[in-house]
Every structure is written in structure tokens, then in C-alpha cells.
Amino acid sequence: MSARRQPKHRPKLGAMSVSLLNELFTHTLDRGYAEAAARRAGPGQPSRTVLRSHLQIAAGLLLVGLVLSTAYQQTRRQAPESTRVKRALIQDIGARTKVGHELARRADALSAKVAGERNAVLAATAEGNAARTRLQYLEERTGSVAVVGPGLVVAVGDAASRQQVDPITGQQRDLPPEESGRITDRDLQLLVNELWATGAEAIAVDGRRLAPTTTIREAGGAILVDYFPVASPYLINAVGDPDVLLPRFADSRIGQQFQTYVGAYGIRFDLVRAESLTLAAATGTELRYARPDQGAGGTPTQAPPPTPAGGPSSFAPPDPTRPTDGRAGASPSGGNP
């Protein structure tokens, strides 16, 4: 009879659960994870991921520095070239301007010669003398001839420029004034129209004589007077009685308004009494319309090409007593209203 097998001892289920919980609380990490964490925390033992990240950052910084350095060198090399091109353009403009001035002087000389011969013919009769007197009056009012006399000089200009350091070259550069500190074509129109209203007989802006058809307008950021560019500061010369022009203009609404702009925006605005001003004749003036004298007999015929030697013009002289609000008309004109 075989011996009876004794059953093996089996631990109770509750004791096994308590032992497993104690193991989890005592060793929260697996042994392999704990060893890896210890290696990462050890001195002089960076992981491959950290090393790769550092290398990528260094390479990126090196690439950015290389790009910035290349852009800086290219900018420095292009600066002399742009300066040379700018200087060449300025010289070309100066040469062409000189030619234009020479042609204008020649045209003035020929006009003076024609006027002298015309006056000599008109002076032969009493009717001719009367026509010459009226023609001279109209020519002065339309800007066809030069005028000399006392008057008022109005100097107006943009506010002072601002300085800033160029972040690329490190040099000081001038920045244009703020928009509110710039003189516009509208400002010149207001000043010119106010001078006409206060009794000016002839006006020129930066040497450009104003005629009834002269325009003051802005194109491409530049102010054009009769399609010629003018630059700040702008000098407005007005021929007339300075004892009348100066107080009337200074006390007018436009004059007071620009005095306010001086303190508010820093623009330049000065009024100077002038004992003698010489205004050249306006350029581009031509006779477009004419009518026969009422006292002349015969039937009117087709007139020859317009010349300054024509008969009395139908242009009406300005009326200084006409009320004005200081604003330009429908078109941006700075001519005699």
C-alpha cells in the first residue's frame, strides 16, 4: 500500500496580494528603466538625443549668421554702385536743365526783340499808343512780360528732417518729416490765392511766374508749378504795395492758419518785405482767343498763328475786390483767379 501523498502548502490568496502591492510601492520603476535613468543623470554622459539637439541648434545658428553676413556684404558692395548711378543721374539732370535755361533765355531775347519792333510801329499813331498801353497792361496781368517792383516774399517749407541710425550700415541717415509736417500742393494753392486776394499784381513760385493757366499740382510726391518741379523751402514772390500786402496777408485767415502750423507741426513760414522784386515772364503763354477791335472797319478774317503782336486780348484783368475763400478753383490752378 503506497504511502499517501501529502498536499503541498499553498499560501493564502490574501498574503500574495499584500506582497505584490508592497513590491509595487517599493520599486516603482522597473530595474532596466532605473538603470537608464541613472546613466542619463550621470556626469559627462549625455544622451544621443540631447547631443543631436545641441548640434542642430548650433548648425541653425551658424546658417543664420552666414546668411546675415552675406546680405550685409552684398549691401555694402551695392552701396557705392547705387551712389554712382545716383550721381550720374544728378549730373544728367543738371546738364539738361542748363540746356533748358539757355533755350529759355534765347526765347526771352527773341520775345523782347519782337516787342520792341511792335512798340515802334504802334508809337507812330495815337491809336497805336493807346493800343500799346492797353496791351502792356494785359501783358503784365497775364504774365507775358517781366515785371519789377516792391512786394512781399513768403517763405514756406517742410518741417526739419529726422535722423536715424541705419541698422545695416550703422550710419546716420535723414528721414523725411512726418506727413503733417510736409507742404503740399494744396498749401501752395491756398497761399497763392490769398496773395491774389490781398492785392498782389504778379506772383512767382521758386522763380516760376504764374499765369492764368498755370497749375500747381502734385505728382509722384513732387510739387509741380506749370509742370516744373519745385523743392522746399518754397519762395513765393508777390509784386505789389508791401504796405498793403504784408498786413492784409498776415491778418488773413490763411496767414493765421499757417502761423498755427509753425507751432503745431514745425513747418517754416516767414513773411519778408521786399523793396524790389524782379519776376520773369511766364513760360508757355500763347494767344488762344482774340476778337477784332470795335473801331476797326472791314470784315474779320481768319487770324494768323498766335503771336504776342496781336491786337487787344479778350482776357479780362483781375478784380482785386472779388471775394475769395482762399481756396483754389475747380482745377488745381495757382494762376491769377
Closest CA to 313 of 140, 146, 143, 138: 138
Whether 103 and 221 share a structural domain: no
Helix (H) or strand (E) holding 7: none
Domain-located, residue 154: yes
Distance CA 150, CA 206 (A): 17
CA distances from 246 to 101, 193, 202, 274, 334 (A): 32, 15, 15, 10, 20
Whether 94 and 187 share a structural domain: no
Which amino acid is present at 28? T
Domain-located, residue 10: no
Domain-located, residue 165: no
Domain-located, residue 246: yes
Distance CA 152, CA 246 (A): 7
Task: Give the number of other Cβ atoms within 10 Å of residue 197's Cβ.
Answer: 21
Domain-located, residue 70: yes
Domain-located, residue 307: no
- Structural domains of the chain, count: 2
Whether 180 and 267 share a structural domain: yes
Average pLDDT, the chain: 77
Domain-located, residue 50: yes
Hey, is 189 helix, strand or coil? helix
Confidence band (pLDDT; 50, 70, 90) for 301?
Answer: very low
Distance CA 242, CA 25 (A): 106
CA distances from 119 to 141, 194, 279 (A): 18, 34, 21
Assess contact for 250 and 152: CB atoms under 8 A. Answer: no
Note the Cα 143 to chain centre separation in Å: 28
Helix axes 242-251, 185-197, angle to 10 degrees: 130
Whether 186 and 223 share a structural domain: yes
Whether 185 and 280 share a structural domain: yes
Residue in this structure with the C-alpha cell 501523498, named with its chain if needed? 5
Q: Where are the alpha helices (DSSP H) in the chain?
A: 13-26, 31-41, 48-122, 126-142, 185-197, 242-251, 253-265
Whether 64 and 183 share a structural domain: no
Whether 214 and 326 share a structural domain: yes
Whether 103 and 206 share a structural domain: no
Confidence band (pLDDT; 50, 70, 90) for 144?
Answer: confident
Size of the chain, expressed as the number of residues it contains: 337
Q: Where are the alpha helices (DSSP H) in 143-206?
A: 185-197
Which amino acid is present at 222? A
236: domain CATH number is: 3.30.70.1880
For residue 64, what is its C-alpha cell?
543664420
Whether 153 and 91 share a structural domain: no
Note the Cα 262 to chain centre separation in Å: 19
For the entire predicted model, the pTM comes to: 0.56
Confidence band (pLDDT; 50, 70, 90) for 295?
Answer: low
pLDDT digits (tens, 9 = 90+) for 70-86: 888 777 776 677 777 88
Whether 328 and 189 share a structural domain: yes
Whether 193 and 103 share a structural domain: no
pLDDT digits (tens, 9 = 90+) for 311-334: 333 333 344 333 333 333 333 445
The whole-number pLDDT of residue 234 equals 96
Domain that holds residue 204: 146-159+176-284+317-337
Domain-located, residue 139: no
Whether 255 and 323 share a structural domain: yes
Task: Reply yes or no on whether the pLDDT at 160 is more than 50.
Answer: yes
